[in-house]
Amino acid sequence: MPKNNLDAILRTQRAAFNENPNSSWGERKNNLIKLGKAIADNEANFQQAISEDFGNRSFVETTIAEMAIIHGGIKHALKHTQKWMRARKAPTAMQFKPASNKIIPQPLGVVGIISPWNYPLQLAVMPLIGALGAGNRVMIKPSEYTPRLSNLLKSVLGEVFSDDEIHVAVGGVKIAQEFSGLPFDHLLFTGSTNVGRIVAGAASKNLTPVTLELGGKSPVIVDDSANMSLTIPRITNGKLLNAGQTCVAPDYLLMPEREINAFSKALIAKAEEFYPKFAGNPDYTSIIADSHYARLQGLLEDAQNKGATLRTAGDDDTQVMAGERRIPLTVVTNTTPDMKIMQEEIFGPLLPILASETLEDSMQYVQEHDRPLALYWFGEDKAKREHVLRNSISGGVSINETAWHVVQEDIPFGGVGPSGMGAYHGEHGFKTFSHMKGVFFQSKFSGGKMLYPPYTEKTQKVLKMMKKFM
């Protein structure tokens, strides 16, 4: 798609927005209902397309991690958006009364969404829900790594929305570069930190505000007070969902060295319980592409060359798994910070464990590295839990669980520092895609005329009196 076509679509959407710059709740409600029905009516097609793009992904996994989250988001938006749209009173300082203040939410205009390949439907549609609820027009650029899903999404949305309401731009890196350089009223990007820097740079040339949902190395701190019967399956499940290709997947574990051996064996046993075999298992997801598979194998080779011990779940034929791009859970112990697996976001089913003897040691390690998108703490000691919550900085946290904070519609989802900026989901998404316009209503009884020039001794007395109320 040539850039002039993208420009033309943006101009068309902006012209349509300018004709109706503050759509009614009825119009927004209708759009959300249409979106929900379109997704639901094509669920099987979306499951099939995503599985084919990956090589294999369980339809159940797509239902859990994509469809259910989308429908929950739409249901939440339908229940609350009308309230979020209302103008709300804001306090007025004493010295300005009887004037009053209000905050009026307004749509921004045209929103751009660049979505990734790992959850290609959910991470395109969830920000779309917020943007539509806020009354915007939307252009979406899905990933080139999932062409079947991208083309299906374009077809499905094109059947129920006009091009001046929602447009899906399919294509490769060149289209993505052109897309990120368009003068949107807001741009949301989900992807890697490195690409996020490029997107933010392109958007800055147009002074386009951005929300960046990035990634990083999300740590798991396992306290000695943790309930292991709960901890082991929850970490294993969080790591192996989508074969670890999740931005908030547990990236590495921190625990005392004396516990590592038994813990790693328990993780392997649980993985083998979840997936009695990995090769050919319809429940287990393939790595998205050959290049990603090779990168993960390179991380393991580097770690092993530097002295790490690898424990791999299952005893499947390695050649078969390589052909299917399947990697079973691989726990990496004797891990050191100089290994690439501790320096790069893993984004796969590899789980290094780093020895850390005390909570203070673990906290120091986390704080000395880039602020993560997620942090996980397992334990029953409330004092330690509160210490972690108060003294760590991360995009979000799940306590005694992994990843579930992401699907809570009443709390924001977003990163901090290198793991992102801005947030969405629920009302936080509505606000991200709205301009919260402040309005001051002056009263006819205003005393402001006492500050008109020329300035006299009386002016000084009025200022002195005003200061008492500031």
List, by residue number, the catalytic residues: 213, 247
φ, ψ (nearest 5 deg) of residue 154: -60, -40
Judged on CB neighbours under 10 Å (0-12, 13-18, 19+), 458 is exposed
3-state helix, strand, coil in the chain (%, to 5): 50, 15, 35
CA nearest 425: which of 410, 436, 415, 403? 410
Q: What is the DSSP string of 177-216?
A: HHHHTS--SEEEEES-HHHHHHHHHHHHTTT--EEEE---
211 contact partners, CB below 8 Å, separation of at least 6:
127, 186, 187, 188, 189, 414, 420, 421, 422, 423, 424, 432
Which residue in 31, 374, 67, 412 sits closest to 235, CA to CA? Answer: 374
CA 341/CA 357 separation, integer angstroms: 21
Backbone angles phi, psi at 254, to 5 degrees: -120, 125
CB 30 within 8 A of CB 165: no
Instruction: List all residues 6 or more positions away from 16 whose beta carbon is below 8 Å from its beta carbon.
Output: 137, 164, 165
Task: Read off the tokens for 141.
Answer: 């650029």
The Cα 355–Cα 349 span in angstroms is 20
| Residues 332, 300: Cα–Cα separation, whole Å | 8
Taking only Cα atoms into account, the Rg of the chain, rounded to an integer number of angstroms, comes to 25
CB atoms within 10 A of CB 168: 24
Length of the chain: 470
In sequence order, what are the residues at sequence separation of 6 or more whose Cβ sits closer than 8 angstroms to the Cβ of residue 367?
391, 392, 393
